[in-house]
Amino acid sequence: LFEVSVPYTRSLRIDRGQWVKNYRLYFNSTHWVTHIVQGPDGRQWYAIKDSYGRNYYARTGHLRKIEASELAPISPETPRNQKWIEVLVEDQELRAYEQGEIVMQTRISSGLPLNRELEPGELPTETPLGDFHITVKTVCRHMGESHFTDQLDSGAYPGVPWVCFFDKDGYSLHGTYWHNNFGNRMSHGCVNMRCEDAKWLYRWALPPAQPEDWQISGWGIRVSVRP
């Protein structure tokens, strides 16, 4: 697992034997690297495998390896019913509790309501209220538009880090590298967090994940989303 360590880097992909421009990858986004190749400039490039199983490439000097020590689970021995997460929509705040004590409290950005009627099959952009459980955790996930593009204004978000899914429709808690407007509703339904906060929560929340895990599933801790 690697993360982008520069403000941004332009990834490339191979299309019909030619190297072409692809996504811009931003600081703190995370990416699963499979091997190293020689790029079109003669330098070493990392081969990235995304959550769709596709490959593209980024300069080795622009990503850093995330060491296993950074991913070790935090207090995994604490029983599941002694850890829980509370999301307060009105306050735009997340609180993590362990044995009744707040162990993390941070500003978030939850879902911004649409100002139009939903299209058939379209999911609400407000974060759903209620009690849920984390069921899937992954260190990186491609979100938004799925097609390859080199356009900066696209709706594609490659390498979204530290994702904890808590709802069957795909709503999650995750790190957010594309804005810093926490404390205001900004998302399409997920709970946006600062990347460093999301990383801590990913390590702390059950089910536990080991450093070598790209994705794990299991019945995890409760996530209560309140008005």
75: left (phi over 0), alpha (psi -120 to 50) or beta: left
Please give the DSSP secondary-structure letter assigned to residue 202: H
What confidence tens digit (pLDDT) does each residue in 124-167 have?
899 999 999 999 999 999 999 999 999 999 999 999 999 999 99
The residues, ordered by sequence, that sit 6+ positions from 69 with a Cβ below 8 Å of its Cβ are: none
> Do residues 44 and 179 make contact, with C-beta atoms less than 8 angstroms apart?
no
On the question of pLDDT at 116 being above 90, the answer is no
The whole-model pTM stands at 0.95
What confidence tens digit (pLDDT) does each residue in 188-216 have?
999 999 999 999 999 999 999 999 999 99
Pairwise pLDDT comparison (117 vs 47), residue with the higher score: 47
Q: What is the pLDDT of residue 121?
A: 84
Average pLDDT over residues 88-111: 98
